[in-house]
Structure 1
């Protein structure tokens, strides 16, 4: 996405170029970095597909986009991915001053057909429940990497953090108080303007699953007093002065769910966040309190967690004597 500079007199061009660069920077900051990366990746895929078939990607004919979406569906892409590609193509056209081919009725008809054929049910990762987490922590090694993993899993779960939020935390964002921890989340996926919010994490009832004590143990062992909270640890047990990547969070979660016999394909970093919401719903925590912890602005997703948690707790078939 870029701001276009129309033909201008030479004396104004340099100034406009500078302003354009500044505007493009703000455009890039208007959405989350991962969202921008996804849009860029989608656009590159579409351009490659068009080049292989000698079709124009920009501007693209509506028929070209319709064929591209159909091909994605035939190749097994999920409805959500296909829909995002359609948005990316339209966005690329609009930022270059072209009408979006995604708005054409032919493309919309193909999109409706794909949704009706493939369905639109979400395919989210499975939640890690409290009992799963307890079992996972039993496999954490008694070394520096283990201290980090224990703290990361417990803070990620208790705070219901997204993996991007978890790795963005700095020591300066953490305050130890009488009741536990107050973590200031400076920015998140749903808070691109940086208003920030505070998340309270209380002491756990058991030492082995207490997120507050786990984080204190990690900080005490490493001596980290500023900068990134969670960092890479080498095989030689050296702590790097760098920020852990969000992909590493997913790998850590997958490693421990595999150790307790679960299929790692169904779990990732989001399983911690989903796990807190689902476990809280199973424990009868109110929708409002769950949203306060997760930071959800809409109750729709939280209600899905509540419905899932009630599948067997309030089950008609369980009460008829089968």
Structure 2
């Protein structure tokens, strides 16, 4: 007494779902065909019904099979979730919810046999595990992985190959991307996504194949591009802050951007750790996590590029007596003008968040006012400048790694005294 959905039918259905994810309108007859197949599949995978109901409701009122049905963003998200649900419970070529023993570790034990777990229990567990897996990486990483999976599965459909038995397909995937001139970093992200895809399906990770690794190594050697972003030195920081009076529209904006630039330099912040992603999206440093004393400022970075688990790290910036850009003095001045006592630290006078785009735009306007081209500078120039200045001031490697929150010697590539322009 068991229900089975053969892997070939499941893969065909997933292919149709993926095609719908990429369109905004679909003919009624096509949508009804997919819904019919989903209805059959959901008899074996019942949790899929949660994501197909809104899609079925969208056909209401459409009469002619030739007429088109609009797919909203919510519909496409439901379709994407359906593909994840079907992929999450594909075990060794057969989806088998009724025969629970096919899932490793469930329904059997070494000392004999036992009754299988109730089907509802298994479904609920699989759904929760799928969600936990998704939350194990950042949202941006998951989105990048999804794009890679769509590209990979489209390629599999194109050549009609079984990837578990065909390592040449991985080489073909890599070759196509290399011939398109993809950057080394982008290729690395795609291979990471593909490796994740293989592991989810409990098949050998073909991205670690010797031919793949050596091809990528050779490609990297042939495309080495030197990072020539210029550092913001302390002298340049002083001049940039002086130009804020020319660039900014109000005295408050001068105080706001001076605090942002000074913190970016002395706190050695990545831009995403310091400011919000947009003027309407809360992010960056929070007021309640900043302690401003007479001789130091203590700030907590809740999450960063190298801390996806959100353990958080403390950043301490000390006062510089006699310096008019002393970070403690600058921050005290800004806190005296701050319109809110909770939430994001860097706010405009009307309560809007200081965004990444605004930070970079004002920074480049200051550079142009100084007669410097902004194309060689970026928000990361403050972090590069801090590392460069720390070495110029005689700090040892361990001290530079500690204040910059680097866990390796990666900071060495950021020490660029030859590129200091002021």
Q: TM-score when scaled to structure 1?
A: 0.78
The answer for the alignment partner of 2:253 in structure 1 is 145
Show structure 1 runs of 5+ residues with no match.
Answer: 314-322
User: 1:173, CA displacement in angstroms?
Assistant: 0.8
Q: Contact 2:262/2:325 (CA < 8 Å) preserved in 1?
A: yes
SS at match of 1:114: helix
Which of these residues, 394, 403, 410, is aligned with residue 301 of structure 1? 410
User: 1:251, CA displacement in angstroms?
Assistant: 4.2
The answer for the alignment partner of 1:161 in structure 2 is 269
* Structure showing greater Rg: 2
Which of these residues, 231, 234, 256, is aligned with residue 130 of structure 1? 234
Matched, 1:4 2:113: no
Q: Contact 1:181/1:212 (CA < 8 Å) preserved in 2?
A: yes
1:218-297 counterparts in 2 under 5 A?
218-231=334-347, 233=348, 238-240=350-352, 243-297=353-407
User: 1:190, CA displacement in angstroms?
Assistant: 2.4
Q: Quick one: distance in 2 between partners of 1:39 and 1:255? A: 36
Q: Quick one: distance in 2 between partners of 1:263 and 1:76? A: 28
Which of these residues, 115, 118, 131, is aligned with residue 223 of structure 2? 118
Q: Contact 2:340/2:351 (CA < 8 Å) preserved in 1?
A: no
Matched, 1:22 2:106: no
Q: Quick one: distance in 2 between partners of 1:252 and 1:41? A: 33
Q: Quick one: distance in 2 between partners of 1:22 and 1:252? A: 45
SS at match of 2:314: strand
User: 1:203, CA displacement in angstroms?
Assistant: 2.4
The answer for the alignment partner of 1:317 in structure 2 is none
Q: Contact 1:175/1:183 (CA < 8 Å) preserved in 2?
A: yes
Q: Quick one: distance in 1 between partners of 2:321 and 2:254? A: 21
The answer for the alignment partner of 1:316 in structure 2 is none
User: 1:77, CA displacement in angstroms?
Assistant: 2.9
Deviation string for 1:187-220 (max 9, x for gaps)? 3322333333322112245564232233233332
The answer for the alignment partner of 2:310 in structure 1 is 194
Which of these residues, 129, 139, 158, is aligned with residue 54 of structure 1? 158
Q: Quick one: distance in 2 between partners of 1:23 and 1:252? A: 45
Q: TM-score when scaled to structure 2?
A: 0.61
**RMSD of aligned C-alpha atoms?**
3.3
Q: Quick one: distance in 2 between partners of 1:37 and 1:244? A: 25
Q: Contact 1:154/1:211 (CA < 8 Å) preserved in 2?
A: yes
User: Which has the higher mean CA deviation after the structures are superposed, 170-179 or 110-119?
Assistant: 110-119
Q: Quick one: distance in 2 between partners of 1:105 and 1:209? A: 53
Q: Contact 2:230/2:376 (CA < 8 Å) preserved in 1?
A: yes
Deviation string for 1:116-146 (max 9, x for gaps)? 3223x66374322212222221221243333
SS at match of 2:336: helix
How many residues are matched?
301
Q: Quick one: distance in 1 between partners of 2:129 and 2:386? A: 39
Q: 1:139 to 1:216 in 2, by over 3 A?
A: same
Q: Quick one: distance in 1 between partners of 2:273 and 2:162? A: 35
User: 1:108, CA displacement in angstroms?
Assistant: 2.9
The answer for the alignment partner of 1:319 in structure 2 is none
The answer for the alignment partner of 1:318 in structure 2 is none
The answer for the alignment partner of 1:81 in structure 2 is 186
Q: Contact 2:231/2:377 (CA < 8 Å) preserved in 1?
A: yes
Q: 1:287 to 1:43 in 2, by over 3 A?
A: same
- Higher relative contact order, chain-length normalized (CA < 8 Å, sep 6+): 1
1:164-183 counterparts in 2 under 5 A?
164-167=272-275, 168-183=284-299
User: 1:13, CA displacement in angstroms?
Assistant: 3.8
Q: Contact 1:32/1:189 (CA < 8 Å) preserved in 2?
A: no
